[in-house]
Structure 1
Amino acid sequence: LVHVVNKQMLMMLGTEKKLLPSSVINQVAKAKAAEMEEQQGFPPGKKAMKELKERVADELLPRAFSIRSNVWVWIDPVNGWLVVDAASPSKADDVIKLLLKAVDRMPLESLRVQRSPVAVMTGWLEADEAPYGFTIDQDTELRATGESRAAVRYVKHTLEPDDIRRHIAAGKQCTRLAMTWNDRISFVLTESLAIKGVKPLDVIKEGEAVTYSDDERFDNDIVLMTGEMAKLMADIVEALGGEAKA
């Protein structure tokens, strides 16, 4: 499902996963192996048993319980962004692999920046100052780099500069930082450069004074959010020293 508005592409990628536990396959295969042993007088060998399990899996798969999941993908061909709304990096990688199989000649590169997000976020906290256009919110995670991997998490808690500096002096670095961009979008930036927990503040409200149909409202929200998100991501990249070319 692909929806295009103002040169922005929003798509929903649906996947289906069959739940077929290996214990179920082994149980059925064991029963069939017992039948074979009774018929032929000896148990199936290692190779025959492997083939039997494969046949059992093929037989059971159509009846297995299915789990469907939908993932939103935004493609911005104007600014060259592909954004996956996934819960984890591994899920995002799975989505990208499916896209590459479905779409021919789709050149993709992972975003790389000049400066380490961990080092930069730690510096912002230590200086108690965010880059222009950003403010630091009340959620963060500081994690030690040694074997202990000790971590301190602040959730909806005032980040006292002296406390934060003590943690940094003890060897902890910032791995997650909640921020707000231009009083318009709040989000959490992670050590892997993922942007999580995106919440529009005044962006969507700007179009509420005008009466729209449901379809028009949907399109208007897409235009507003993609426009703002493209600017936000560009500012994040700039705050991290700019894009690092391969």
Structure 2
Amino acid sequence: MLADAPVVEERILGYIDNLNGFVVINTASAKKAEAFLTLLRKTLGTLSVVPINTNHRPDAVMTNWLKTFSSIPESFEANDECQLEIDNDEKSVVKCKHLDLTSDEIGAHIETGMSVTKLSLTWNDRVSFVLNADLTLKRLEFFETQDDNQDDDDLTTKFEADFMIMHGEITALLKDLISAFGGLSDG
């Protein structure tokens, strides 16, 4: 029976940015990202990869951003979605969507000791995303791509052009995020 079982293929895209020291993987799953890295290590022989670690805790910084909106760096704009958590016996979580994050309700949750663990942001009016406390980015949406009216025969050229735009945007976005969280930590 196993010989007749359908093969499930999955495509996960990623790239290595040697110039800036980033490995970018297009998946929201930590398990799939690690599988991608394992295959990459196997292919290359070795690859030292560590998650981004900044000088300031992302949850503390994002919480401060929602406490005092004036502290959000100019290149970022908070959207209308966040998740707040408190580390108590019950692991309380509040998920907010389509809500004014400057509201008294959000402020009251923060005053009770809740921290922001997810925050939807827009960067320089060019990319929107959800930032997690572990500095992973989810639901990236790029506002600039090549003209969608290109010929279908030229899909490779369109992919390459879109990839170049995406690479440039992600690189600049990651640099701004690292700066917003106090730079890279040595430890």
Structure-1-length-normalised TM-score: 0.69
1:63 CA displacement: 4.4
Gaps of 5+ in 1: 1-59
Any conservation in 2 of the 1:114–1:244 contact (CA below 8 Å)? yes
CA offsets, 1:148-170, max 9 Å, x none?
A: 22211111222234221110111
Alignment of 1:95 onto 2:49: no
- The one-letter code of the counterpart of 1:91 is K
Alignment of 1:219 onto 2:182: no
- The one-letter code of the counterpart of 2:35 is D
Alignment of 1:135 onto 2:47: no
Partner SS state of residue 197, structure 1: strand
Counterpart selection for 1:75 from 10, 16, 23: 16
Residues 153-192 of structure 1 mapped to structure 2, 5 A cutoff? 153-192=95-134
Residues 222-237 of structure 1 mapped to structure 2, 5 A cutoff? 222-237=163-178
**Which residue matches 1:208?**
147
1:210 CA displacement: 10
Structure holding more strand per residue: 1
**Which residue matches 1:46?**
none
CA offsets, 1:189-243, max 9 Å, x none?
A: 0011110010012x21xx4399673322221111111011100011001101101
- The one-letter code of the counterpart of 2:165 is L
| Equivalent pairs, count | 184
CA RMSD of aligned residues (A): 2.0
Alignment of 1:148 onto 2:90: yes
Structure holding more helix per residue: 1
- The one-letter code of the counterpart of 1:97 is T
Any conservation in 1 of the 2:66–2:102 contact (CA below 8 Å)? no
Partner SS state of residue 71, structure 1: coil
1:85 CA displacement: 1.2
CA distance in structure 2 between the partners assigned to 1:210 and 1:150 by the alignment: 47
Q: Indicate the percent of aligned positions where both proteins have the same amino acid.
A: 29
CA distance in structure 1 between the partners assigned to 2:158 and 2:147 by the alignment: 9
CA distance in structure 2 between the partners assigned to 1:62 and 1:244 by the alignment: 50
